[in-house]
Chain A
Amino acid sequence: MSRVAEASRAPALEARAHRLFAVARLGEFVERESVFSWLMLTPPLLFLLTFLGYPFFYGVYLSFFRREVAGPATFAGLGNFVTLANDPIFWQSVGNTVKFTAVATVLKAAGGLGMALVMNQNFRMKALTRAMLLLPFIVPTVLSTVAWQWILDPGMGLFNRLLVVSGLATTGPSWLGTPAMAMLSIIMVNTWRGLPFFGISILAGLQTIPAELHESATIDGAGTWNRFRYVTLPSLLPVIFIVTTFSIIFTFFDFQLVYVLTGGGPANSTHLMATYAYSLSMGAGQMGLGSAVALSMVPVLGLLLVVLTLYVRKD
């Protein structure tokens, strides 16, 4: 090969070498921990922003507008919130939500602790029993709530049949027909559904407590109650705290159960903020007002998240 030919190929070879070098540099850049981690994080972040962030910020936007279905939006400032402040049903739904969340969470926490303590013992068919106890959590809420509709039926329902057959009552109560009983019923169904979450989480916590702690306490003369009071409970507190916080959030935003069981009735006695927001926006077509109700729930969620974050950081 002549020198001239070699000289003419030199720039091409140089360009190729540059390209290879650039690719290699890019590869190194991508493989850096800080870059690669962001590359991995970006898809889920985009997913969250699209499917959670967008509806959330759109909801915030809507809450400041008078906006009806298929209609134009007109800026209302705080108008929707002022309307809600003067709306007795909104305040009733706030009260109902607080009552529902408080009672159901306490019942679930107490019941879940009991369930976990029992499940932590050794007995026959323990694994099967544990699996069975998870059922309420696994079955889709709408399906299980339809089953509860039958269970709570005044004439044909399981509860009232049992009451009548056992001779405890001549006729059973109207589980969904009076405001007090309807609230009691939705709390009962929510507790039934949420109990396994507490039970299994606390059980996991129980199994991390070293046996030596109990043995030392026993040697020191502690009885069953004192071992529970001074060893088990303090060790479980972090788990109970986190599970309770999550449960408050889930319960506060509960929708399906009430929507299927009572639709918020009778006479709004079981209307929660979530069902009221839904009925205003999707039923009555008042998207702005409905969004304002939904947004009113956010401060509670925010507060809980702050508490949870602080607690986790402290640990």
Chain B
Amino acid sequence: MALSAQSEPSRRDFLKLAAGATAVATGPWVARKVEAKPAVITFARESSYVKNFDEHFLKVLKPAYEKLTGIKIEYQIQAAGGGAVPQLVSMVENKSGADLAWVQQEWLYRDALVDVSDIAEAVGKEQGGWYDEIKRLSVDNGKWKSVPKGNIGQLMVYRKDWFEEVGIKKFPDTWDEFLEAGIKLKAKGHPFGMSMGHGFADNYSWLYPLLWSYGVTVMDKDGKKVALDTNETAKAVDFVRKLYKEACIEDCVGWLDPHNNKAFLTSQISCTNNAYSIMVSAKRDLPEMGKVIDHALNPKGPNGQRYHALVPVTHGVFAYGPDPQAAKDFLRWLMDPKQYRPWIASGDMYFAPFLHAFDKVSEWDIEPRVKPFQKVLETGKLTSWPAPANRAHGAVVNRWVVIDMFSKACTGAPTKSVIAEAVGQLKQIYGVA
């Protein structure tokens, strides 16, 4: 049936309807804006690989603080696996999103963080003092810009049973022995899988320590001079190319961080460099494999030293938040031994505290294969080492300058040219001649 001329909605009716709908949609928002500010602190953290850790926070710490202060804690879980840094950058750029956070790669946005020296110094004093290396990250121009939470240790993860099958009872002590072991294992169908792609931790965690153990650093101490252009770098590059060709699975040159976990858990590789999340997954889902996995420190290099790359977790308070002092008070409460120690323990020491009071605590005895991760702190360095951990260093890390130097060599580029390319990029990033 056709509508009569009178019942047909006119354009004016439509405009009235649209205006009404807009008013209805806007009304509650406007009403909310005039209400008092809700007492909420938003705490953003990357999704943890250790389920208990997040559960402890949600079931114990969050309700305890809410009961104590009446302030609601919003626990905002961010994407894991490298996705958190862009999210944090976006939050800082938009001056919104969280009051405090696990400030990954804080050198990118230190100016947006408040001074937390009072908290860090008090926590250090009551818990045995901080490891020196972490101060090079958290302290900027004499002020603590973040409070260290712990280190996600990265070690060699290997199949003990397969190593024993080729007659290796003890994990190789030097990189040369590591190569020999890899050649034997690859011949048996159990290659190594050493990540060299555009990931965010599993590539740095062995390539930087390897480079350092050849006596090479990327920049000098002040970050004013490129230190990479040496004969030792060439030797390190040649070694990695040989290791890749003779001992590794072909795919690993392009691996992102989840790939080595997947390859290890599907029995494609016998060794990789990773946090102990592989063992956690294996014990949970593949109990037989869980029994034969072990961890070992990185091998020593020609300079007789062994190194590890730190993957630090630090918490910072954003200066642009509505109430930074409230967020600082919450952080101080969180780092009190009464809260901090059970929280760390709940994660089975996945996050190794940078505090000396934890060097010999019984929590490390939870699982003997976790214990080596404490040792990482003793020889652990920031990837900027010995140069300052600053924005330029962030650009080097996130543009994979050093990683690509090795991966290009593995995919056929000559040693001299890959070093020259890396040196060129470093000069451009640091703005040095």
Contacts and interface: CB of A to CB of B under 8 A. Distances in A.
Contacts of B108: 68-70, 284-285
B231 interface: no
Nearest to B268: A155
Interface stretch (B31-39, B88-96, B365-373): B88-96
Nearest to B87: A282
A53 B168 CA distance: 63
Interface stretch (B134-142, B194-202, B218-226): B194-202
Interface stretch (A133-141, A176-184, A235-243): A176-184
Contacts of B391: 68, 71, 285
A283 B425 CA distance: 16
A3 to B, nearest CB: 40
Given A155-B268, A267-B407, A285-B108, A69 B93 contact: yes
B263 A155 contact: yes
Interface stretch (A120-128, A257-265, A295-303, A304-312): A257-265
A286 interface: yes
B348 interface: no
Contacts of B428: 83, 86-87
B93 to A, nearest CB: 6
B250 A264 contact: no
A47 to B, nearest CB: 14
B15 interface: yes
B411 A266 contact: yes
Contacts of A264: 198
B86 A282 contact: yes
A271 B370 CA distance: 37
B418 to A, nearest CB: 9
B165 interface: no
A262 B268 contact: no
Contact of A70 (B112, B255, B262, B263): B112
Contacts, number: 134
Given A154-B251, A177-B253, A266-B197, A279 B398 contact: yes
Contacts of B196: 265-266
Interface residues of A, number: 43
Nearest to B404: A267
B424 interface: yes
A282 B249 contact: no
A39 interface: yes
B111 interface: yes
Interface in B386-412: 391, 394-395, 397-400, 404, 407-408, 410-411
B399 A284 contact: yes
Contacts of A215: none
Interface string B16-59: 00000000000000000000000000000000000000000000
20 contacts: A27-B12, A31-B11, A39-B15, A87-B425, A153-B262, A156-B262, A177-B250, A177-B252, A178-B254, A264-B198, A265-B196, A265-B197, A267-B404, A267-B410, A267-B411, A268-B400, A282-B90, A283-B398, A284-B108, A285-B395
Given A71-B111, A155-B268, A177-B255, 5 more contacts: A31-B12, A69-B112, A70-B108, A154-B249, A278-B86
Interface of B: 10-12, 15, 85-86, 89-90, 92-93, 108-112, 196-199, 249-256, 262-263, 266, 268, 391, 394-395, 397-400, 404, 407-408, 410-411, 413, 421, 424-425, 428
